Amino acid sequence: MGTMVEEKIYFPVSDAAKPLFVGMNFGGTYLKIGIIDSEGRTVSFFVTPHHGELGPDAATKHAAQALKEALEKTGTTLSSIVAAGYSFPGALDPKTEQIHRPPNFPDWAGYPIVAKLSEYTGLKTVTFSNNANAAAYAEYWVGASKGTQSSCLLLLDTGIGCGIIVEGREIRGANGFGGEFGHMVVDPSPGARWCGCLRQGHLEAYCSSLAVARRTKELVEVGHPTSLKDKITPQDELFDIARKVYEEADNGDNLATHIILDTARFLGLGIVTLLHTIDPECVLIGGEMMFGGKGSKIGDMFLAQIREVIEHRAIRGLGQHLKLDFAALGPFASMIGAAGLAREEAAMFSVVEG
Ligand SMILES: [Zn+2]
């Protein structure tokens, strides 16, 4: 296995639509590397520890080495790769091309990731994107918002990751923070909840899995009758609590159902502002907290509640044709989208057609 902890070849590289691209996704613990063809299909994918804790340069050298190994195992060479995209849980300053200080890896601040990855891999075209933007692009390219003109993605995890794609382009912003609408204000009151960014009243403080877990614990502790009381243990991680809220709602528990509907109401408020700002054709909900997802009783109830908020709060008729749905690509989205955004960049410089 070499440096890989997981690897899979989906189909022979001879069957892939050329040219090929590379998508790299720096996630919670691992770096995912995908060889992606021109139609957005994953030819092969590999997983290796990201080694971010060793510092940016050691991690980037490791990424380049792992890519070399991935290409060999896929049966292809660097010369068949037109561009590579790198997605990361942070932002890049578009002027200096250096990473802004990431909350979890402060020593990555100022690292010129694009130049270094290009140097260590030997690839001329390397692009950087935020993980959520890359995931949004993947859904737009080959996922749940394929064929739309504009699409927004909200990833409900410990925080809220967001990405906006308009006519095939991600919104990066002047400082690399474009599309960070998880931090829009939905509660201006002095007692508003605190967000992970240490400001009050942001959407993330009400709709992330951390927020759901916190609200759940509070409501259970004050003695609301609920089946959750016997299910939640002190050992539970936040995702465990969020999952249990879904499970108990699915079993008909009133408090659990109330918590989910409340989450949908706050999310609806955020999405209303998004509609007034972008007027997107599609809004997708993804991440680890999807409440059973599409077609499930609770998932459908969640989307219906968001729609109700839109109907009451948005300019009349604005949400009528909105496609509101769950994301389709799951944990592979950022890897595929990173390759897709690299392909866009390469196309802009006429390296490839289309
Ligand atoms: Zn915030």
The ranges assigned to domains in the chain are: 6-138+331-348, 146-328
Q: Please tell me the distance between residue 286's alpha carbon and the centre of ligand 1 in angstroms.
A: 19
Q: Please tell me the distance between residue 199's alpha carbon and the centre of ligand 1 in angstroms.
A: 6
Cα-only R_g, the chain: 21
- What class has domain 6-138+331-348? alpha beta
Q: Please tell me the distance between residue 212's alpha carbon and the centre of ligand 1 in angstroms.
A: 15
Give residues whose Cβ lies within 5 Å of ion ligand 1: 183, 195, 197, 202
Q: Please tell me the distance between residue 176's alpha carbon and the centre of ligand 1 in angstroms.
A: 16
Segment 152-174 shows an average pLDDT of 93
Q: Please tell me the distance between residue 184's alpha carbon and the centre of ligand 1 in angstroms.
A: 7
Strand partners, 286: 155
Q: Please tell me the distance between residue 204's alpha carbon and the centre of ligand 1 in angstroms.
A: 6
Query: Could you report the per-residue pLDDT of 138-153, keeping only the tens digit for each?
Result: 999 999 999 999 999 9
Burial class (CB in 10 A: 0-12, 13-18, 19+), 317: exposed
Q: Can 6-138+331-348 and 146-328 be said to share one CATH topology?
A: yes
User: Who's near 345: CB < 8 A, 6+ residues apart?
Assistant: 83, 85, 125, 127
Q: Please tell me the distance between residue 205's alpha carbon and the centre of ligand 1 in angstroms.
A: 7
Q: Please tell me the distance between residue 200's alpha carbon and the centre of ligand 1 in angstroms.
A: 7
Write down the pLDDT at residue 285. Answer: 97
Contact at 8 Å (CB) between 74 and 118? no
Write down the pLDDT at residue 102. Answer: 87
Longest Cα separation, the chain = 64
Alpha helices, H only, the chain: 56-74, 113-121, 131-142, 204-207, 209-221, 238-250, 254-278, 297-313, 333-348
Segment 127-147 shows an average pLDDT of 96
- Residue 2 in this model has a pLDDT that exceeds 80: no
Contact at 8 Å (CB) between 118 and 76? no
Beta strands 160-166 and 6-9 are unpaired
Round the average pLDDT of the chain to a whole number and report it. 94
Distance CA(179)–CA(175), nearest Å, equals 11
Q: Please tell me the distance between residue 233's alpha carbon and the centre of ligand 1 in angstroms.
A: 28
Give me the amino acid identity at 72.
Answer: E
Q: Whose CA is closest to 159, among 220, 97, 104?
A: 104
Write down the pLDDT at residue 354. Answer: 46
Segment 100-119 shows an average pLDDT of 94
SS3 199: coil
Domain 146-328 fold:
Nucleotidyltransferase; domain 5 (3.30.420)
Contact at 8 Å (CB) between 352 and 82? yes
Q: Please tell me the distance between residue 98's alpha carbon and the centre of ligand 1 in angstroms.
A: 22
Query: Could you report the per-residue pLDDT of 273-283, keeping only the tens digit for each?
Result: 999 999 999 99
Beta strands 92-93 and 20-26 are unpaired
- Residue 186 in this model has a pLDDT that exceeds 80: yes
CA-to-CA dists, residue 224 to 217, 218, 234, 256, angstroms: 10, 10, 18, 11
Segment 307-324 shows an average pLDDT of 95
Query: Could you report the per-residue pLDDT of 92-109, keeping only the tens digit for each?
Result: 999 999 999 988 899 999
Has this prediction a pTM greater than 0.85?
Answer: yes
Q: Please tell me the distance between residue 328's alpha carbon and the centre of ligand 1 in angstroms.
A: 26
User: Which of 265-274, 302-311, 343-352 comes out lowest in average pLDDT?
Assistant: 343-352
Q: Please tell me the distance between residue 211's alpha carbon and the centre of ligand 1 in angstroms.
A: 12
